[in-house]
Structure 1
Amino acid sequence: MGKQFSDKLLSNLKPQATKFYSREGRGFALRVMPSGIKTFLFIYTTHEGKRREMNLGNYPHVKLAEAREQYQAAYSLAAKGIDPQEHKKAITEAKAKESNSSFGKLAELYLAKIETKFAANWVKTISGALKCDLLPVWKDKHIGEIRRKDIIDLLEKVGNRAKGQIKNVQKAASGVFRYAVDREYIEINPTSNLSKALSEFQTGPRERSLSESEIKVIWDAIDAGVGSEETKRALKLILVTAQRPGEVASMHRSEIDGEWWTIPKEKVKTRKEHLVYLTPTALKLIGDSDGHIFPSPRMAKPIQTSHMSQLVSISRVDTQGNVYHTPYYGLPRWTPHDLRRTARTHMARIKIIEEHCEAVLNHAKRGISGVYNRYAYQEEKKLALIKWEAELLELIK
């Protein structure tokens, strides 16, 4: 028998180079990891002779008295020849089938919620990640039984298969677990702070703003380079208006009224209409065509954001092996979305106030309630974009 646990004893246990166990006796133990994480355990042997460890919670988040109570219940089951972990699993799975607490049911409720609040393309991405990678594994599993380790293991498998997909799957999982926390199905979101655990799959900093000299380079290079005129104009319009690539690519004549472009809520990430002032440069790029402003070769549909991404990033080589289109126009890696970030950065540089910059970009305001005013900051957005256009024209001349 070990020494009886007390808060003083547990608090004084310091991490070592490898994990170690402090045991009170009869299977009640505390595991201390090199990271300093302390976990209450019930260590027992099953009827088949297999050694198992039952997680009773991390100390001090789980109090000693709570852990001891869980241990005593588990010990009683084990003494009767019942595996306490299998017993708990059976109970939670039965409850999941009788209630809304399975991952699959909560995912369904979460999707129903976001469908009314966010743009269709974003919802489609989240829905796809759920259906392809999460629901096949966790559909019938009780939300409270999915551990952080389970999530990391699944995301690592996704990352090894398709590194670019891991972010979408992580967003989908995080959304469902946040939904569960908000509605008190669980107390802690196990998807929070996963960056360190998944560091090998990170592609590096995504945020990039083009410098003043780089803006001049890409503006001229877009004109002189390969690609359709529609795709070239769309790229430039992102920089001029500071709007999202998807919103620009799908622009339709019906959304334009004189000098104003109304982006319908169905296309906006925040599901709220957004007014954008169109400067003379923007209107010139838009032109006077009817229907889709940037039609694809099929004409019935607009270009896709992937068309812009490919134009920027793909190298073009002729039949003799000579490169006639350099990726990123010879600059360090950047994306079409970085043009929006570039506009935002330089608007701040020329002293356009923060609140007006955020209004131009249609970033959601935090901590502000009430009915959305469609015309909020209309004049301020106009003045901000006029000032940005003047600066941009100076940079590219």
Structure 2
Amino acid sequence: MAHKPNLTPSKIEALRAGSLQDARTPGLYIEVKNGRGRISRVWKYRRRIAGRSNAALKATLGCYPSYSIADAREWATNLNLSTERGEDPHETERAKEVRHTVAEAHALYMAYVRSGIRRTLKPGSIRAKEQIWSADMKVQIGDRDLQEVSDDDLWDLVLDKGKRAPIRANRLAGELKVFMKWCAGRAGKQTGITLKISPATSLDAYYFPQKPRARFLSHDELTWLLKALAHEERIRQRAVLLILLTGCRKEEVLSAPTAEIERDVWTIPAARTKNSQCHRIPLAPWTLSLTQTNQTWLIASDRKDGPRRDGWCKVLTRIEQRMGAYAGREVPHFTLHDLRRTMRSNTKRLKIDFETAEAMLNHKKKGLEEVYDGYDLFEEKREGFAKWESFLVQLAVKGGLNEALSIPDEATVFFDGSRELQASLQLQLF
């Protein structure tokens, strides 16, 4: 057997090529590396793991003299304790890595989302993420080890959701892709998550075909809606009617603080609108009366200090059933957002011009018009909202709903007293 010389500083410094093993410490050797005209001598370790015929442990400590002979021998001795027991210390270290459940990783993800470090999401977007987690992820995979979740597991979630709610399944797929990509990305790693590859790369956020919604309520359906609302609690009346009368999005109404309303103008700040554009709404008499409350929130919760955001699906289901009773047939399903579309679909009939109708919905101007035209059509919107309110008031008056819907007397006076407008509105009713 070849003699292994004892390592000394002079022998190491004399080494110009190859490697030199340590006679005192099994597996330890120093190897010469040449690069860019410089010689470096690197401590390395290589030894077969006991009980594993084809397994050897390889490791690198660093350069001499940054690590002395004594440092290297101590390092190699510790490695020998593992290899002689049949253990791979690399595997042991990997096993010690912090592993997260999906729930733990999601909590870190949501904390990152709320922090707004890279992008500030609107409160409604954050709530949508929380709702998807609570409804479709928490129970199903929350307790699973994040490292063990596969693309098949995620596809099973999406496909199962798609059997009942295909559009929601698409949103679930989209959220899973964003969440898992974050976990495997730099931001996730900075929180201690060790996921190397996202298991959601194959998911398709548009797997289930979806068509743009086109539902809006006819004039008969609007009459039945008003009659059905007459049986609802006042706060629910106010919420649905405000969405209908203003054409606002559901969250813009349900999450509104009363401080946004000053006299007869409701100003929704850019932070609360979908397109980040401030929206000033001139309030006609009935609409203004619906905003009157002593609460901090326009639609206040009766269970907690905050807005009432939950339970509206049940409210709409109940309203649809009452509408069906008035109609003598089943009324096709509609959402609160469809009330916004209903307002826009009636603007042409009420002789509201295109630009004003778009401004009433707070749609952004396009092209050069957006760049150069800063006029918000406030007075035109005032006229447009008054026409729309007058039309709905006439429907309510004809149905004898003045008192049940708390319509103020001043709202029953047709807008501007114009005979032409009165005739136009009457044509829509009969």
Q: TM (normalized to structure 1)?
A: 0.53
Cα distance, 1:372–1:115 mapped onto 2, change above 3 Å: farther
| Aligned residues of 1:155 and 1:169 also touching (Cα < 8 A) | yes
Partner of 1:272: 277
Q: Does residue 121 of structure 1 match 2:136?
A: no
Provide the rounded CA distance (Å) in 2 between the counterparts of 1:175 and 1:161.
23
Partner of 1:166: 169
Partner of 2:383: 383
Paired residue secondary structure (2:348): helix
Q: Does residue 310 of structure 1 match 2:314?
A: yes
Provide the rounded CA distance (Å) in 2 between the counterparts of 1:355 and 1:384.
11
Cα distance, 1:115–1:274 mapped onto 2, change above 3 Å: farther
Partner of 1:228: 233
CA-CA distance at 1:155 after TM superposition:
2.4
Residue 157 of structure 1 aligns with an amino acid whose one-letter code is D
Provide the rounded CA distance (Å) in 2 between the counterparts of 1:272 and 1:343.
20
Provide the rounded CA distance (Å) in 2 between the counterparts of 1:220 and 1:276.
26
Provide the rounded CA distance (Å) in 2 between the counterparts of 1:169 and 1:205.
18
Q: Does residue 362 of structure 1 match 2:362?
A: yes
Work out which of the residue numbers 191, 202, 207 in structure 2 matches 1:194: 207
Q: Over aligned residues, Cα RMSD in angstroms?
A: 4.8
Q: Does residue 238 of structure 1 match 2:243?
A: yes
Partner of 1:261: 266
Paired residue secondary structure (2:347): helix
Paired residue secondary structure (1:276): strand
Larger radius of gyration: 2
CA-CA distance at 1:343 after TM superposition:
0.8
Provide the rounded CA distance (Å) in 2 between the counterparts of 1:303 and 1:274.
22
| Aligned residues of 1:119 and 1:270 also touching (Cα < 8 A) | no
Q: Give a deviation string over 1:34-53, Cα, whole Å, max 9, x none.
A: xxxxxxxxxxxxxxxxxxxx
Cα distance, 1:333–1:129 mapped onto 2, change above 3 Å: closer
Paired residue secondary structure (1:312): helix
Cα distance, 1:373–1:272 mapped onto 2, change above 3 Å: farther
Cα distance, 1:221–1:127 mapped onto 2, change above 3 Å: closer
Q: Does residue 292 of structure 1 match 2:297?
A: yes
Q: Does residue 213 of structure 1 match 2:220?
A: yes
Cα distance, 1:138–1:157 mapped onto 2, change above 3 Å: farther
Paired residue secondary structure (1:234): helix
Provide the rounded CA distance (Å) in 2 between the counterparts of 1:285 and 1:378.
20
CA-CA distance at 1:107 after TM superposition:
11
Residue 236 of structure 1 aligns with an amino acid whose one-letter code is L
| Aligned residues of 2:243 and 2:249 also touching (Cα < 8 A) | yes
Provide the rounded CA distance (Å) in 1 between the counterparts of 2:332 and 2:117.
36
Q: Give a deviation string over 1:265-305, Cα, whole Å, max 9, x none.
A: 34322333321111111012223534223223237323225
1:1-397 → structure 2 map (5 Å cutoff): 116=119, 118-126=121-129, 129=132, 133=137, 155-160=158-163, 165-172=168-175, 191=204, 194-196=207-209, 206-223=213-230, 225=231, 227-298=232-303, 300-304=305-309, 306=311, 308-314=312-318, 331-367=331-367, 376-396=376-396, 397=398
| Aligned residues of 2:114 and 2:121 also touching (Cα < 8 A) | no
Cα distance, 1:159–1:335 mapped onto 2, change above 3 Å: same
Cα distance, 1:286–1:374 mapped onto 2, change above 3 Å: farther
Paired residue secondary structure (1:348): coil
Residue 159 of structure 1 aligns with an amino acid whose one-letter code is G
Residue 265 of structure 2 aligns with an amino acid whose one-letter code is W
Paired residue secondary structure (2:341): helix
Residue 207 of structure 2 aligns with an amino acid whose one-letter code is L
Cα distance, 1:390–1:171 mapped onto 2, change above 3 Å: farther
Identity of aligned residues (%): 28
| Aligned residues of 1:126 and 1:171 also touching (Cα < 8 A) | no
Provide the rounded CA distance (Å) in 2 between the counterparts of 1:388 and 1:129.
36
Q: Structure 1: which 5+ residue stretches go unaligned?
A: 1-103, 180-187, 197-201, 317-322
Provide the rounded CA distance (Å) in 2 between the counterparts of 1:374 and 1:112.
32
Provide the rounded CA distance (Å) in 1 between the counterparts of 2:109 and 2:291.
43
| Aligned residues of 1:252 and 1:291 also touching (Cα < 8 A) | yes
Cα distance, 1:207–1:111 mapped onto 2, change above 3 Å: farther
Residue 314 of structure 2 aligns with an amino acid whose one-letter code is Q
Paired residue secondary structure (1:314): helix
Q: TM (normalized to structure 2)?
A: 0.49
Provide the rounded CA distance (Å) in 2 between the counterparts of 1:241 and 1:231.
15
Partner of 2:190: none
| Aligned residues of 2:364 and 2:370 also touching (Cα < 8 A) | no
Provide the rounded CA distance (Å) in 1 between the counterparts of 2:319 and 2:344.
28
Instruction: Report how many aligned residue pairs link the two structures.
Output: 272
Q: Give a deviation string over 1:145-204, Cα, whole Å, max 9, x none.
A: x99x9986652133247657414214435778999xxxxxxxx997475344xxxxx6x8
